[in-house]
C-alpha cells in the first residue's frame, strides 16, 4: 500500500511516500503561503498514494479533518477544512493529525519505542510537543490537546508562554527559550565563533560543548524543566519510558544529567524511567502522518 505523509511546519514542510513500512521517497519544501496552497501541494504529491496523512503543528478536529488552532504556519488555518478540501481533490482517504501525535505513532511503530506499550513522547523544537501512548495506542483527547507536555508548569512565575500560562517547560526547553536564556553574551558567543545574528539552540549547544559555562547552565536548566514535567507526567500515567526527539534533542546529552537527577529524585513513586533518543530523525512526523492516513483507509 502506498501512503503519503506530510508534516507541515512553520517554515518547512516535509513529505514521505511509504510502501508499507518502508520510506520510498521523501522531500522538504518551504511551507506554502497558506492552507489552500498546502492542500494543492499535497494533491500534487499524491498521484500514487492510496491514503494521505497530514500533520499540523497545532490542534485539529480529527473527525472532520478541520484545523482548530494552528498558529505557526503562514496563512489563516483556524477553521480550515483541510481534510474535506484535500479529499475533494484526490478522492482517497485523508487523515489530519497533530504533528507530535504523528511523531509518537512513528516512533512507537517503527522507531525508538517499538515493542513498548506505555510511553511518553516529547518533541523539542520551536515549541515542545508531546504525546502519551498507553497499551500501544497514542491517546487522543476530545480537544486534541492531550499529552501537551510542553505546557506543564515548572515555574509558576517564570517567562510568559504562548499558551497563556507562565513558566511552561516550553519556555525553558524549546529553541527560542534556550536562545533567550543564553541572551546576547557577545563575548562568549564570539569565543565560540558564532555571530550574534546566528544564535540558535544548536549554536548555544556548540558553545556549551566548547566549554562555555553559561551555555551549559542553560541546557542544565532545560534538562531540569523537562525532568520536572516528565516526572509529573510519569506519576499521572504510570509509564516506564520517554522518547525525546525534535531538532533541539541533538543537545539531549547536555540536558541528561539534570533530567535524570530530577527523575531519580522521584524514583520511589515513578520507578526507573528510560529516556530514549528518537531514532527516525526529521522525517518522523511525516512518517507518523502517513501511518495515520493508512488507519483512516
29 vs 160, beta carbon nearer Zn ion: 160
Instruction: Check: CB of residue 130 under 8 Å from CB of residue 147.
Output: yes
| Grid coordinates belonging to 114 | 517499538
Residue 66 to residue 82: CA distance in whole angstroms:
6
Residue 231 to residue 169: CA distance in whole angstroms:
12
In angstroms, give the least distance from the CB of 278 to Zn ion: 22
Q: Binding-site residue total for Zn ion (CB under 5 A)? A: 5
In angstroms, give the least distance from the CB of 193 to Zn ion: 34
Of 273, 291, 295, nearest to 122 by C-alpha is 273
Site for Zn ion in 126-185 (CB under 5 A): 151, 161, 163, 165, 168
53 vs 58, beta carbon nearer Zn ion: 58
- Does 72 participate in binding Zn ion (rule CB under 5 A)? no
89 vs 163, beta carbon nearer Zn ion: 163
Backbone angles phi, psi at 8, to 5 degrees: -85, 120
In angstroms, give the least distance from the CB of 127 to Zn ion: 8
Q: What DSSP state is assigned to residue 273? A: -
Please state whether beta strands 59-61 and 66-69 pair in parallel, antiparallel, or not at all (unpaired): antiparallel
Residue 120 to residue 230: CA distance in whole angstroms:
8
151 vs 188, beta carbon nearer Zn ion: 151
In angstroms, give the least distance from the CB of 221 to Zn ion: 16
Which residues contact residue 52 at a Cβ distance below 8 angstroms, ignoring those fewer than 6 apart?
A: 3, 4, 5, 6, 42, 46, 86, 90, 92, 93, 94, 95, 290, 293
In angstroms, give the least distance from the CB of 163 to Zn ion: 3
94 vs 168, beta carbon nearer Zn ion: 168
8 vs 168, beta carbon nearer Zn ion: 168
In angstroms, give the least distance from the CB of 161 to Zn ion: 3
Q: Summarize as ranges the residues that interact with Zn ion (CB under 5 A).
A: 151, 161, 163, 165, 168
Amino acid at each position: 500500500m502506498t501512503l503519503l505523509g506530510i508534516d507541515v511546519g512553520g517554515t518547512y514542510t516535509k513529505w514521505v511516500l511509504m510502501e508499507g513500512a518502508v520510506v520510498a521517497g521523501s522531500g522538504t519544501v518551504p511551507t506554502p503561503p497558506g492552507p489552500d496552497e498546502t492542500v494543492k501541494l499535497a494533491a500534487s504529491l499524491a498521484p500514487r498514494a492510496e491514503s494521505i496523512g497530514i500533520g499540523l503543528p497545532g490542534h485539529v478536529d480529527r473527525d472532520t479533518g478541520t484545523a482548530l488552532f494552528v498558529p505557526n504556519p503562514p496563512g489563516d488555518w483556524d477553521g480550515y477544512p483541510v481534510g474535506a478540501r484535500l479529499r475533494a481533490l484526490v478522492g482517497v482517504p485523508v487523515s489530519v493529525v497533530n504533528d507530535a501525535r504523528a511523531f509518537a505513532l512513528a516512533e512507537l511503530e517503527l522507531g525508538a519505542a517499538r515493542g513498548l506499550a506505555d510511553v511518553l513522547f516529547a518533541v523539542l523544537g520551536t515549541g515542545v510537543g508531546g504525546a502519551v501512548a498507553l497499551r500501544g495506542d497514542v491517546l487522543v483527547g476530545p480537544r486534541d490537546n492531550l499529552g501537551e507536555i510542553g505546557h506543564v508548569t515548572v515555574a509558576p512565575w517564570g517567562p510568559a508562554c504562548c499558551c497563556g500560562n507562565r513558566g511552561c517547560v516550553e519556555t525553558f526547553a524549546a529553541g527560542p527559550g534556550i536562545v533567550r536564556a543564553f541572551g546576547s553574551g557577545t563575548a562568549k558567543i564570539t569565543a565560540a565563533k558564532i555571530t550574534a545574528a546566528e544564535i540558535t539552540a544548536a549554536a548555544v549547544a556548540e558553545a556549551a560543548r566548547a566549554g562555555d559555562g553559561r551555555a551549559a547552565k542553560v541546557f542544565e536548566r532545560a534538562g531540569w524543566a523537562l525532568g520536572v514535567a516528565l516526572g509529573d507526567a510519569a506519576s499521572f500515567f504510570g509509564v516506564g519510558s520517554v522518547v525525546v526527539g525534535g531538532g533541539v534533542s541533538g543537545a539531549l546529552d547536555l540536558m541528561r544529567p539534570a533530567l535524570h537527577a530530577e527523575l531519580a529524585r522521584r524514583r520511589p513513586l515513578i520507578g526507573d524511567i528510560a529516556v530514549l533518543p528518537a531514532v527516525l530523525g526529521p522525517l518522523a512526523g511525516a512518517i507518523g502522518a502517513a501511518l495515520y492516513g493508512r488507519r483512516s483507509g
